[in-house]
DNA sequence: AAATCACCTTGCAGAGAGTGCAAGTTTTTA
DNA sequence: TAAAAACTTGCACTCTCTGCAAGGTGATTT
């Protein structure tokens, strides 16, 4: 009776995972990892949900309790980091330039991607080799993108139909994707955060062309 | 016997459509139109391929001879205008700024979209109301985008791994999508070409923020 | 600790997507 | 007009994805 403190939810700190949650995370991770590994080996159409489930030691029906589709298991994280991203945009200092705000808001996302480097490298490889997935990877951000558009419009005080928030959000997303593609393809190279910085700097400078002389 | 000239293929001009081609175009258009109309009415999941085929007076099997998936019938034109777009980029005057090149290359695409205004309005409405399709709409451009990246790299003489072509291509695509979304949502407004011009000008200017004062 | 509750997993049945194959039909070509 | 090529269609089949009704395992309450 001394310390059944496990139930208390301390706002601010993770409130004691609990066996059940841990198992769920494990199952989800196992399914995603198995899906990525098998698809990387054989190709998207040569892997069935049944095989993925078998590799993760669950039934095929359970697979669909975790992911709405085979694709979702591969591209992962729908809206997981999205809400935090929106929150970070909303919480940025008011006067800050929009591109700076967006770039800083992405820090957290970028850190998470770097933390799961193995997984993300595999994921980018699978996506580039199965272009059918690329739209899914982008679409996952569709809802988040709209939310950011709304937040930016409010921050700038311009009304929800003003073209600027939509343009800058779409463009920033494109810049991040370009940086991620570059990072994933020859990854021995630079840090993802640096590549993102470069891309955003180029945006702010009006996309100056690389000097042909020197 | 007087004029069976229909067979001659004059290079440069459309080489006499032929009954077969006309029928194919008709069937394809009928399927796409039926798909868009039904999905706009009922929603993506409430329409089966069988219903679409019935509305276009062909068998369900024939549907799949025209489109690889239900989604494809809705987002349409995969790689159709893509090759011409790439060609226009490649044929642009050498010294021209990249953003100008890309904007002009889009003229043809934009004209076609305006020509099919009814269809495209329906399409954008369906896509925005069924976000699951948005990735498909973008993915259709994935192959084209890579081709443009390669052409730009060659034009700039920078090698296929340089980050600039990928960044500018991705960003230009995002700008076009933002313009199309704006055009589709309140369409009574401005011309699509004007909206695209505005977006590209903003890119070239480094995405200046809208003045809060005045 | 036992009983209860909530959630998770699983199998089953079924609708719908998408494909390969083998006709049958229509257009084109010779 | 006859042969060739292309298009349509039905059929059988695999795979994806969903709803439902158990059964099981972790959490909660008394």
- In CATH terms, the fold of domain A82-204 is Tetracycline Repressor; domain 2 (1.10.357)
Q: Which CATH number fits domain A19-74: 1.10.10.60, 1.20.140.10, 2.60.40.10, 3.50.50.60?
A: 1.10.10.60
CB pair distance less than 8 Å for B167 and A202? yes
List, as ranges, residues 113-152 from A with C-beta within 8 Å of B. 131-132, 134-139, 142-143
How far apart CA A64 and CA B213 sit, in angstroms, is 52
The rounded distance, in Å, linking the Cα atoms of A107 and B45 is 37
Q: Which residues of A touch B166 (CB under 8 A)?
A: 178, 181-182
Q: What is the pLDDT of residues A11-32, one digit of tens each?
A: 444 556 677 789 999 999 999 9
Q: Which nucleotides of D are covered by protein (CB under 7 A)?
A: 6-11, 15-20, 26-28
Give the highest mean pLDDT range of A70-74, A187-191, B61-65: B61-65
Question: Bigger pLDDT: A128 or B209?
Answer: B209
CB-based burial label for B149 (10 Å; 0-12, 13-18, 19+): buried
- Rounded to a whole number, what is the distance in angstroms from the first to the last CA of chain A? 74
Rounded distance, CA A200 to CA A205, Å? 9
Percent of chain A topping pLDDT 70 = 85
CA A24, C1' D22: Å apart?
21
What pLDDT does A185 receive?
A: 79
Query: B47, B51, B56: which is closest to B27 by C-alpha?
Result: B56
Q: How many CA atoms lie within 13 A of A152 on its CB side?
A: 28
Q: Is the CB of A61 under 7 A from strand C?
A: yes
Asked if residue B131 lies in contact with residue A78, where contact means CB atoms within 8 angstroms, the answer is no
CA A213 to chain centre: 38
Could you tell me which chain A residue has the CA closest to the CA of B132? Answer: A139
What per-residue confidence (pLDDT) applies to A190? 87
Equal CATH topology for B19-75 and B82-204: no
Token pair, residue B193, equals 């070409």
Give me the percent of chain A exceeding a pLDDT of 90. Answer: 57
b/e burial code for range A72-109 (CB count within 10 A of at least 16 → b): bbbbbebeebbeebbebbbebeeeeebbebbbebbeeb
Nucleotides of C under 7 A from a protein CB: 7-12, 16-21, 27-29
Give residue for tokens 């706009």: B40
Q: Which of residues 44-73 of B touch strand C (CB under 7 A)?
A: 47-50, 61, 64, 68-71
Within 13 Å, how many C-alpha atoms sit on residue B135's CB side?
17
Q: How confident is the model at residue A195 (pLDDT cuts 50, 70, 90)?
A: very high
Q: Which residue is closest, via its CA, to the C1' of C26?
A: B20
Q: Is the CB of A24 under 7 A from strand C?
A: yes
Q: Say how many residues make up chain B.
A: 214
Q: How far is CA A167 from the centre of its chain?
A: 20
Contacts of A136 in chain B (CB under 8 A): 135
Give A199→chain B minimum CA distance, Å. Answer: 7
Q: How confident is the model at residue B50 (pLDDT cuts 50, 70, 90)?
A: very high
Question: Which residues 6+ apart lie within 8 Å of B203 measured at CB?
Answer: A171, A203, A206, A207, B99, B171, B172, B175
CATH fold of the domain at B19-75: Arc Repressor Mutant, subunit A (1.10.10)
CB within 8 Å: A203 and B204: no
- List chain B residues with CB under 8 Å of A161: 185-186
**Which pLDDT band, with edges at 50, 70 and 90, does B213 fall under?**
very low
Return the H-helix or E-strand segment holding A30.
helix A19-42
Instruction: Determine the distance in angstroms separating the CA of B204 from the nearest CA of chain A, rounded to an integer.
Output: 4
Among the ranges A118-122, A189-193, B82-86, B200-204, which has the highest mean pLDDT value? B200-204
Q: Tell me whether residue B24 is exposed, middle or buried, using C-beta atoms within 10 angstroms of its C-beta: 0 to 12, 13 to 18, 19 or more.
A: middle
Determine, for residues A139 and B143 on separate chains, whether the beta-carbon distance falls below 8 Å: no
Which single residue is written with the structure tokens 């992962």?
A76
Dist CA A151 CA A59 (whole Å):
41
Distance (Å) from the alpha carbon of B12 to chain A's nearest alpha carbon: 34
Which phi and psi angles does B36 have, rounded to 5°?
-65, -45
Q: Output the six-digit token pair for A163.
A: 């073209």
User: B189 to chain A: nearest residue by CA?
Assistant: A161
Ramachandran angles phi, psi of B116, nearest 5° = -100, 45
Average pLDDT, chain A: 85
Domain ranges of chain B: 19-75, 82-204
As a dihedral over the C-alpha atoms of residue B22, residue B24, residue B29, residue B32, rounded to 10 degrees, the angle is 180
Contacts of B179 in chain A (CB under 8 A): 163, 167
pLDDT tens column, A155-170: 999 998 899 999 999 9
Closest C1' nucleotide to A20's CA: D26
Which residues, 6 or more positions from B168, have their beta carbon under 8 angstroms from its beta carbon?
A: A207, B98, B99, B102, B152
Which residue out of B78, B192, B209 would a mutagenesis test of the A interface target, given it has the greatest number of A Cβ atoms within 10 Å? B209
């Amino acid at each position: 009776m001394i310390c059944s403190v496990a139930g208390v939810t301390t706002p601010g700190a993770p409130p004691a995972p609990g066996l059940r949650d841990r198992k769920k995370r494990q199952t989800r991770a196992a399914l995603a990892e198995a899906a990525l590994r098998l698809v990387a080996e054989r190709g998207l159409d040569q892997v069935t949900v049944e095989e993925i489930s078998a590799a993760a030691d669950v039934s095929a029906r359970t697979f669909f309790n975790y992911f709405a589709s085979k694709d979702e298991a591969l591209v992962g994280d729908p809206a997981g980091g999205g809400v935090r991203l929106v929150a970070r945009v909303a919480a940025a200092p008011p006067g800050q330039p929009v591109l700076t705000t967006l770039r800083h808001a992405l820090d957290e996302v970028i850190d998470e991607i770097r933390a799961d480097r193995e997984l993300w490298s595999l994921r980018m490889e699978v996506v580039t080799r199965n272009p059918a997935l690329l739209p899914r990877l982008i679409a996952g951000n569709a809802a988040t993108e709209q939310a950011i558009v709304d937040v930016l419009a409010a921050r700038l005080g311009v009304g929800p139909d003003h073209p600027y928030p939509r343009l800058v959000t779409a463009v920033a997303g494109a810049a991040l994707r370009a940086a991620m593609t570059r990072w994933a393809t020859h990854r021995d190279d630079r840090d993802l955060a640096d590549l993102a910085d470069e891309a955003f700097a180029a945006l702010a400078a009006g996309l100056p062309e690389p000097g042909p002389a020197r």
